[in-house]
Structure 1
Amino acid sequence: MSTIAVTDANFEEEVLKSDKPVLVDFWADWCGPCKMIGPALEEISEELADQVTIAKMDIMANSDTPMQFGVKSIPYLVLFKNGEKVADKLGAAPKSALKGWIEGAIA
Structure 2
Amino acid sequence: MNPNGQPQTPGRKLNFILPIKNAATIIIAILVVVLAYPYIQDWFVFEPQTVMAIWVIGFILALITRLNYLSRLFLFDMIIVTGIIGYYSFSEGLLVLLLLLIIQKLAKLL
Of Structure 1 and Structure 2, the greater strand share is in: 1
Of Structure 1 and Structure 2, the greater helix share is in: 2
TM-score by length of structure 1 reads 0.33
Higher relative CO (Cα under 8 Å, sequence separation at least 6) belongs to 1
Decide which structure has the larger Cα Rg and report it.
Answer: 2
TM-score by length of structure 2 reads 0.32
